[in-house]
């Protein structure tokens, strides 16, 4: 028996649901129905799982992939052979078999002849583009300063297009697509920028559509911290990890969450605005117009103001690296400020740990410049703030202080979406 919309229980019609007891005519959005997988979707899902296993484990033979998936080798061959034919994967020379015998293994890995991926990092003052192999080797890149973000948008878009175009021209094959990490709020459903606080000319700009029209390639847009997370997930310390969080500090503060093998985005990409979580009721006014955001106490602007107040030399140039160096040289006031900064970074991490317990934090940006001295201070403050519990050991990993991880993560948006890898 087929159940149509009119046959659905409790008044469900056309994807809407009227709960019992609600007023007549009141409709509320129902839970989306999940269609069964078609045979083509099953094939693409299985392909994605095989590719994800390669990203997690590195070069792996057909026999090992079959063992891990709980299927026979013929099934795996049916999945990987089209990828070999399309030059996505390549099978290496046989390696010696185990002393106990058996057929020599031929590990599969990403082919150097595969179409590359393009990653773009768009920050308020600069655009940075790269072309990368599927296994994360950057083959070409260019970085350009952007015109004033408070002026007209056209010169900004033309600069972005020039940077991306020059980078794509160096690609040996047409890339699979373009991934863009934006240092601002984005609408991932529409592929548009919501707002960039330091470059308001870009607010509400449909950047994915514009780049897709210019270059004839699929374009995926996401928030800068989520691009960082994908850089870690596909190419860095997050490979093979089921749950972790990324925190970025610098001129702004942001973060991203990876739970049970999936990146958390929230509705239309609204999740992960960690810099604007509240850490001080009635605290300092934030650039977002609210008070007490984490962004107000754990970014470079706070650090430089406090450095000036402490009488440290050249406070306008202070970053975590300079501050850690001053503390090591026992410059008066430096050690105390370093500890305060570490505590300010730690309070937001502690709140995040108490809320969702990712247990692993990969730190990026300015905080990495502080080296082990700052990382250990942040870790000590977090552990003092979070009650100990079984299985709750918290790990801190230093990520990238520059653009590398975010660039590769932006390119990783293409891997996640266009190769249909689950993320």
The set of long-range contacts for 343-346, using a CB threshold of 8 Å and a minimum separation of 24, is 343/377, 343/381, 344/279, 344/297, 344/298, 344/302, 345/247, 345/249, 345/298, 345/378, 345/381, 346/378, 346/379, 346/381, 346/382, 346/385
71 pLDDT above the threshold of 80 = yes
Average model confidence (pLDDT) across the chain: 87
Answer yes or no: are the C-beta atoms of 133 and 407 closer than 8 Å: no
Structural domains of the chain, ranges and CATH numbers in brackets: 41-95+103-110 (1.10.10.10), 117-230+406-419 (3.30.420.40), 240-398 (3.30.420.40)
7 pLDDT above the threshold of 50 = no
Identity of the highest mean pLDDT range in 35-39, 95-99, 328-332, 402-406: 328-332
Local confidence band at 93 (pLDDT 50, 70, 90 cut-offs):
confident
Answer yes or no: are the C-beta atoms of 243 and 352 closer than 8 Å: no
pTM for this predicted structure: 0.84
* pLDDT at position 422: 57
101 pLDDT above the threshold of 80 = no
* pLDDT at position 44: 78
DSSP per-residue letters across 196-215: -TT-GGGTT--HHHHHHHHH
3-state secondary structure (DSSP) of residue 13? strand
The residue among 15 and 62 whose pLDDT is bigger is 62
235 pLDDT above the threshold of 60 = yes
Answer yes or no: are the C-beta atoms of 295 and 280 closer than 8 Å: no
3-state secondary structure (DSSP) of residue 96? coil
Which tens digits make up the pLDDT trace of 141-179?
Answer: 999 999 999 999 999 999 999 999 999 999 999 999 999
> How far is the C-alpha of 238 from the C-alpha of 398, rounded, in Å?
12
> How far is the C-alpha of 246 from the C-alpha of 360, rounded, in Å?
9
Total length of the chain: 423
> How far is the C-alpha of 375 from the C-alpha of 304, rounded, in Å?
19
Which tens digits make up the pLDDT trace of 182-213?
Answer: 998 899 889 899 988 778 999 999 999 999 99
């Amino acid at each position: 028996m087929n159940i149509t919309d009119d046959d659905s229980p409790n008044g469900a019609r056309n994807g809407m649901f009227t709960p019992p007891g609600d007023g007549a005519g009141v409709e509320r959005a129902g839970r989306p129905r999940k269609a069964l997988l078609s045979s083509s979707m099953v094939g693409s899902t299985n392909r994605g799982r095989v590719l994800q296993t390669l990203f997690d484990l590195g070069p792996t033979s057909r026999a090992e992939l079959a063992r891990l998936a709980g299927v026979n080798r013929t099934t795996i061959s049916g999945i990987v052979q089209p990828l070999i034919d399309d030059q996505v994967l390549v099978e290496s020379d046989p390696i010696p078999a185990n002393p106990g015998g058996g057929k020599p293994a031929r590990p599969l890995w990403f082919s150097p002849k595969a179409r590359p991926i393009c990653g773009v990092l768009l920050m308020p003052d600069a655009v940075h583009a790269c072309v990368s192999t599927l296994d994360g080797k950057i083959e070409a890149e260019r970085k350009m300063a952007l015109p004033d973000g408070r002026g007209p948008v056209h010169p900004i878009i033309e600069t972005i297009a020039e940077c991306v175009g020059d980078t794509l021209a160096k690609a040996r094959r047409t890339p699979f697509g373009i991934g863009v990490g934006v240092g601002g709020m984005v609408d991932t459903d529409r592929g548009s920028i919501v707002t960039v606080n330091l470059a308001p000319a870009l607010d509400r700009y449909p950047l994915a559509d514009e780049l897709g029209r210019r270059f004839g390639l699929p374009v995926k847009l996401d928030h800068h911290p989520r691009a960082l997370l994908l850089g870690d997930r596909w190419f860095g310390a997050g490979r093979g990890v089921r749950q972790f969080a990324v925190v970025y500090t610098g001129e702004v503060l942001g973060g991203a969450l990876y739970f049970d093998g999936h990146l958390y985005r929230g509705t239309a990409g609204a999740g992960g605005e960690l810099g604007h979580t509240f850490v001080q009721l009635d605290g300092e006014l934030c650039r977002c117009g609210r008070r007490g955001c984490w962004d107000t106490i754990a970014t470079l602007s706070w650090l430089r103001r406090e450095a000036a107040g402490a009488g440290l030399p050249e406070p306008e140039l202070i970053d975590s690296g300079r501050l850690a160096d001053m503390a090591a040289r026992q410059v008066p006031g430096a050690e105390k400020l370093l500890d305060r900064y570490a505590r300010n970074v730690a309070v937001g991490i502690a709140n995040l740990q108490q809320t969702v317990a990712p247990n692993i934090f990969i730190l990026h940006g300015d905080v990495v410049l502080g080296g082990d001295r700052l990382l250990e201070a942040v870790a000590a403050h977090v552990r003092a703030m979070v009650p100990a519990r079984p299985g709750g050991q918290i790990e801190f990993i230093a990520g990238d202080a520059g653009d590398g991880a975010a660039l590769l993560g932006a390119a990783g948006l293409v891997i996640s979406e266009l190769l249909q890898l689950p993320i």
